[in-house]
Chain A
Amino acid sequence: MNILELNDVSYTYDSKDQPIEAVKHVDCSFKQGKVYAIVGKSGSGKSTLLSLLAGLDLPTSGQILFEGRPTSTMDLAKYRRECAPMIYQSFRLLPLLTVSENITFPMELRKFRGKKARNRARKLVERVALPESVLDRFPNMLSGGEQQRVGIARALSMDSKLLLADEPTGNLDEENSHNIIDILVSLSHDDGYCIVVATHDLSILPKMDVIYHMNSGVLKLENSW
């Protein structure tokens, strides 16, 4: 079943000189249990597309369906909170919260609080191959790779089967990059997550199930295993 489906999705930025069409008539779908990569040059529109998938904005035209429901009919904040977790190149962890609190933060938004939430955070930390000791640390006490794993754990805490990642390895060294990708692949293949990764790191492409290429806002299927 398609968890996400894009029907003729376009997105245009308002600009002083002329509107910029960042995403042009994209039609595609994303299924659970697969890892998707969207590759392309900087400015090709892949991050814009990803943020549309994340519900950070609505398409200018066309529609995005999450589990068959158009995002335009949904409360976007709720959609982001419950359906479309995202991990970012620069991690975006809340600096004043510990790792545990960062992970439980989305749970608490859903009234899932207290000891249960902390126990779940502990399990998620284990799931992303971090020691339990990091739970009480602040993000700035962790390395980049560790922070990105916390980001994944936070995304997982939302209990959605979709996980969006914008350049998740962009700030990491090669070893950490591969570790993160391995986690994402494992989540997809072992736990049935649909993972969509926007990247220009070609070294990770062999681990991807489906590769889309984006060029000047146009999305093309490049490879599928």
Chain B
Amino acid sequence: MIFRNSIKSIFRSKGKTALFTLVIFSLTLALTLAGSVWASVTQFLDDCDDYYTTVALVEFMGTKYPDDDIYDPAMVDGLKSFDISSIKNNDAVLSWETPSRTFGYVKEFWRTDNFMPDKMLSVLVIGNVSFNEEHQLFSATVYKTLYSSKIKENKYIHMDADFGPFEQGHYYLIFGEVYHGYSPILHLRPAAFENAIAEADGAEIPDKIDITSDTPDNKFYNIPEDSILIQIADTLSVTNNSVLVESTDNLMALLPFHQEELYFVEGRPFSEEEYTLGSHVAVISELMAARLGIHIGDTITLSLAISDRPGFYNTYWAGDGFTVEETFTVVGITNTLMDKSWYVYIPRAANIPASRYPIGYTAGQAVLSNDEAVKFWAQMAPQIPGRFQLKIYDQGYSSVTIPYQTILSTAIIVTAICSLLELSVILLFGFIFVFRQRDASETMLMIGAGKTRVVVYFLISAGLIALIASIAGATAGYWLHDNILTMVARTAENSTLIDNRYSNGNLTISRTLAFAPQLEMGFFFTLGAIIFLLIIITCLVFTLFTFTKRKITKRKQPKVKKKVSTSKLPGGLMKYTTLSVIRGGAKSLIVPLLAATVVLFFGHLSRTAQQYKIQLEDVYDNTQIHGYYTDINGKQVGNLVVNAYDVATLYYTGELNDLDVSRGTPYYFTGITEFADGTKQNISPIYVPSNGYQLESLIAKIQRGPDLTAANDINSSPEFYYSDDISISFLKGYDQTVLSVPENDANVFSCIIPTDLMEEHQISLGDIIRLSLEHMIRNPIDNEKIFAYYDLRVVGSYEKQGTENTIYAPLSLFFNTGLIWGEGQPAVDGKSNVINKPDFLSAKQKDSLLSNVFHSANFQLKDSHNLIKFKDFLTEYGYSQVREAGKVREFIILRDASFNNAVASIKQQNHYINILYPFLYALVGIISVTMAYLLITSRKFEFATMRGLGVPRTRTFFSFFSEQFFLCLAGTFVGATIWHLFWGVPSLAHLVLSIGFLICYFVGSAISIVIMNHADVLKILLDRE
């Protein structure tokens, strides 16, 4: 009976039953979908965290950067003033590793790469030496190669005349450096051999030793076993075939592995156990394995040289220097990268001693918590001193996850709102379906049905509705979630906030992890079950309330209120309104409180949105984006070949406000032609020898020299690009602008030279020096061929950063600067800030530009707002990005990573606001209309009474509407005043939103009053409670 009546009760209130079934179904559906997005995106972000590894690399930008096996004393100096502990101890750092490298040797491994330290040095036995008068050089036959990577036995070679004299028919042990001349025959020239051990022993190194045999044993020569040249040969055969042993705690986090330049072709990386135990296991290259003829499981014996002298070349000498010899089992073989083919990786805990001097330019690297990398970079980058650079390689983690993080935040809020709405509806459902039927409960108790039956009566009807709605919602959620998640993935793809093209934040490889969540049916039905249970519990609680809050048997006692004097207000339209407002008590506070809260809430929302806009504008206004031409790996800033036409075209875009280029050529210091005091010195130019082989030798000599670099800004030249402490002294009347001001018409160009060169050649500021270059011209005096030379006035001196004595001259020395910076060019005249095609160039100008190259070029963007447009231009022009060649094989990097991260962070918030705020605005609108309706309808008896007393509809309308209008306006005013006091003048958006709220509330009130005005007064008035 109870069951039947309970079921009947829900069919007898069809409207309410249908409404609540629909609402609970809809909210359950919304909740399961929002929850599924939350769960899926959380799972995906966790997967991303496992899949991606973010590495921070601290490197020293030395003059030889990016050489990986070099020892640079400048880095050691730099490290002394660099407190790296702040990086190590940052919360984002999961592990920190300082490079642990040492040089070693594996017997029988030989190298052919271009990274061999003394690849061209050779120790040979020669004979059959003859002197070629015409070419002024010696020719000889190689009888034995004691060490050479180039010269084979029984070959014919040329030797510089400096090696002489030789005796006819004698045999020699000779040491020199091989070079390639214009002829196919290899040349040998005298060379120095630097080895600290040999030097310490006081060894003198001759360039040849006569080893002709004087014994009657039919030998033509005897090689003295104790000869120093034999020792050099022995040393070279080890140092030139050396291996670099790198100990690590996390092989896969080392940059070549992290960037997937190195990968396993056989075997595996080290296991956790091997890392922990320090097992003697190694990973080598495929090339090394092949040359050693070994496979996985075979062993190699590493001989390691550790000493107090920097560099392997100073550590080993003729069998002396190896301090450690250990055997390692090969567990992994990688692909062959030419510059890493001679690396051997071992676990750090194997306790192989590291070199006491840094090898390469890496100061350390950290594995970071993926999601804290951006914060880490923002904290640490400003603390990195001098020429050190911090780079983050995240394998594409941030660009993949940022859109999903935004979606996650939104999903969490939507889920929370859906949950709150669901809870509210459940409470309302319990209230209406149970508590408001407490008469029925009371009656049932009065007729002795018992509490259990009452509970069953209510729970069956409510439970049936809840069951149907929640199961239907969960089922629909399960069916629809795939579509929603597909939409999420599409949204994420379309809302990538960072344009990583050409960015220094895009030096990393981009790994791809697909968003493919797998949510089980159980997830949806668990949510449905939770909702069902919540409804049952709520209804049960309300049922229990009906036992205590009885309606029939309990009457309210009239409240004794303080006496209030009757109003003296004149009767009229506003009297009832005024009295209602004044005497409404807490009810009169609801609307103003709501209005004030909404105004403050909207103020907060619009302020937040506005702040993001201001922040974004600040970032744009205060960011200067620099860019530079580089190599395919994005490491070099110099030693490039960049076409001047391409650089000019870039400048013609009008998007650059600074363009610094340089072009260098080797010079040979010829002498001082005029001293600062005006004293002249007769320095002859270098005449071109008529002998071809002498010419080759001379050209080779000039080519080995340092560079004369024409640049328009010394600070931006490759030597100083990463330096912020350049020290230059100028001759009075000169400054750095000397390089950028065209000196096309000058007889003597200015130059800035290193202080070391000044000391070496006794040069003073104001002196004019002559530098000879490798190309040849006719001497205007005697019409003889000479090497071209420049006479340059020394107007400045600088402390060099590297080892080279680079001389800086104005750019106009080598390049007609008018082609780029001359009048009439749109970028110069400020006529355009759009992407231009250089149509204005004459054919001659274009040819001139096309035939010129720069060896470095870097620039600064005029306006960061135009970054995307500028990148579009680069893409359209065909410029190449690091690791991604375009049709123009010139690579450009824009140093916009931090800018992008800042912008992305703000845009992420903005994006999130753009998704969430309309939802909140709509919610506030709905709440305001609902509140207006509830407040008006709660006064239906007042309406009915007034209507019963004959008050016209227009009067009731204006009476109630003016009350709501006044209350809402008062609340808005209070909210606006509070806002003004604490946060200043409201923004336009704030005003618009507040007016929108007022309109919603007024419309809601008006509609509600009209509804009440047309309600059945008869029914209300005759309601006998």
Chain A residues within 8 Å of B, Cβ to Cβ: 47-48, 51, 54-57, 77-82, 86, 88-90, 92-101, 104-109, 111, 113-114, 117-118, 135-138, 140-143, 154, 166-167, 170
User: Is there an interface contact between A90 and B1024, defined as CB atoms closer than 8 Å?
Assistant: yes
B574-589 at interface with A (beta carbon < 8 Å): 575-576, 579-580, 583-584
A158–B575 Cα distance when bound, in Å, is 19
Given contacts A51-B1021, A80-B950, contact A96 B561 (CB under 8 A): no
Contact of A56 among B567, B583, B942, B1017 (CB under 8 A): B1017
Chain B residue, CB-CB nearest to A104: B571
Chain B residue, CB-CB nearest to A80: B950
User: Is there an interface contact between B579 and A82, defined as CB atoms closer than 8 Å?
Assistant: no
Given contacts A56-B1017, A56-B1021, A166-B1022, contact A108 B571 (CB under 8 A): yes
Most buried by A among B566, B580, B1018, B1025: B566
Say how far A73's CB is from chain B's closest CB, in angstroms: 16
11 contacts between A and B (CB under 8 A): A54-B948, A77-B950, A88-B1022, A94-B946, A96-B584, A106-B949, A107-B571, A109-B949, A111-B571, A113-B571, A117-B571
Given contacts A92-B945, A92-B1021, contact A141 B559 (CB under 8 A): yes
Most buried by A among B563, B570, B571, B953: B571
Most buried by A among B572, B580, B584, B1024: B1024
Chain A residue, CB-CB nearest to B1025: A90
B549-566 at interface with A (beta carbon < 8 Å): 558-561, 563-566
Chain B residue, CB-CB nearest to A170: B1024
Which residues in A have their C-beta under 8 angstroms from that of B1023? 90
Say how far A138's CB is from chain B's closest CB, in angstroms: 6
User: Is there an interface contact between B945 and A106, defined as CB atoms closer than 8 Å?
Assistant: no
Given contacts A92-B941, A97-B579, contact A51 B1022 (CB under 8 A): yes
Given contacts A57-B1018, A170-B1024, contact A136 B564 (CB under 8 A): yes
A51–B1022 Cα distance when bound, in Å, is 9
Which residues in B have their C-beta under 8 angstroms from that of A78? 950
Which residues in A have their C-beta under 8 angstroms from that of B558? 140-143
Is B944 interfacial (CB 8 A cutoff)?
yes
User: Is there an interface contact between A95 and B942, defined as CB atoms closer than 8 Å?
Assistant: yes
Which residues in B have their C-beta under 8 angstroms from that of A81? 949-951
Which residues in A have their C-beta under 8 angstroms from that of B560? 141
Contact of A136 among B565, B945, B947 (CB under 8 A): B565
Is B267 interfacial (CB 8 A cutoff)?
no
Is B952 interfacial (CB 8 A cutoff)?
yes
User: Is there an interface contact between B575 and A108, defined as CB atoms closer than 8 Å?
Assistant: yes
Given contacts A51-B1018, A51-B1021, contact A80 B567 (CB under 8 A): no
B interface majority secondary structure: loop
The 6 closest A-B pairs by CB, nearest first: A81-B950, A108-B571, A80-B950, A113-B571, A100-B566, A92-B945
Which residues in A have their C-beta under 8 angstroms from that of B570? 113-114
Which residues in B have their C-beta under 8 angstroms from that of A135? 566
Mark each residue of chain B from 1005 to 1025: 1 if its CB lies under 8 Å from any CB of chain A, else 0.
Answer: 000000000000110011111
Which residues in B have their C-beta under 8 angstroms from that of A117? 571
Chain A residue, CB-CB nearest to B570: A113
Contact of B561 among A92, A107, A109, A141 (CB under 8 A): A141
User: Is there an interface contact between B949 and A56, defined as CB atoms closer than 8 Å?
Assistant: no
Say how far A116's CB is from chain B's closest CB, in angstroms: 11
User: Is there an interface contact between B944 and A92, defined as CB atoms closer than 8 Å?
Assistant: yes
Which residues in B have their C-beta under 8 angstroms from that of A138? 561, 564, 583
A223–B1025 Cα distance when bound, in Å, is 31
15 more A-B residue pairs beyond the given contacts A81-B950, A92-B944, with a C-beta to C-beta distance below 8 A = A56-B1017, A77-B953, A82-B950, A88-B1021, A96-B579, A97-B576, A109-B950, A109-B951, A113-B570, A117-B571, A135-B566, A136-B563, A137-B561, A140-B561, A166-B1022
A53–B644 Cα distance when bound, in Å, is 103
Say how far B756's CB is from chain A's closest CB, in angstroms: 97
A99–B949 Cα distance when bound, in Å, is 15
Which residues in B have their C-beta under 8 angstroms from that of A82? 950
Which residues in A have their C-beta under 8 angstroms from that of B563? 136-137
Most buried by A among B559, B564, B950, B951: B950
Which residues in B have their C-beta under 8 angstroms from that of A93? 945
B470-492 at interface with A (beta carbon < 8 Å): none
User: Is there an interface contact between B561 and A98, defined as CB atoms closer than 8 Å?
Assistant: no
Say how far A202's CB is from chain B's closest CB, in angstroms: 18
Chain A residue, CB-CB nearest to B1017: A56
User: Is there an interface contact between B559 and A140, defined as CB atoms closer than 8 Å?
Assistant: yes
Chain B residue, CB-CB nearest to A54: B948
Which residues in B have their C-beta under 8 angstroms from that of A101? 566-567, 579
Chain A residue, CB-CB nearest to B950: A81
Say how far B415's CB is from chain A's closest CB, in angstroms: 41
Say how far A16's CB is from chain B's closest CB, in angstroms: 11
Chain B residue, CB-CB nearest to A95: B942
Which residues in A have their C-beta under 8 angstroms from that of B580? 96
A183–B517 Cα distance when bound, in Å, is 80
Chain A residue, CB-CB nearest to B566: A100
Which residues in B have their C-beta under 8 angstroms from that of A108? 571-572, 575
Say how far A152's CB is from chain B's closest CB, in angstroms: 14
Chain A residue, CB-CB nearest to B563: A136
Given contacts A77-B951, A92-B941, A113-B570, contact A167 B564 (CB under 8 A): no
Which residues in B have their C-beta under 8 angstroms from that of A166? 1022
Which residues in A have their C-beta under 8 angstroms from that of B561? 137-138, 140-141
A111–B955 Cα distance when bound, in Å, is 14
A109–B571 Cα distance when bound, in Å, is 8
User: Is there an interface contact between A105 and B1018, defined as CB atoms closer than 8 Å?
Assistant: no
Contact of A80 among B564, B942, B948, B1024 (CB under 8 A): B948
Say how far B717's CB is from chain A's closest CB, in angstroms: 86
User: Is there an interface contact between B1021 and A98, defined as CB atoms closer than 8 Å?
Assistant: no
Mark each residue of chain B from 949 to 991: 1 if its CB lies under 8 Å from any CB of chain A, else 0.
Answer: 1111100000000000000000000000000000000000000
A93–B560 Cα distance when bound, in Å, is 17
A166–B948 Cα distance when bound, in Å, is 13
User: Is there an interface contact between A80 and B949, defined as CB atoms closer than 8 Å?
Assistant: yes
Chain B residue, CB-CB nearest to A82: B950
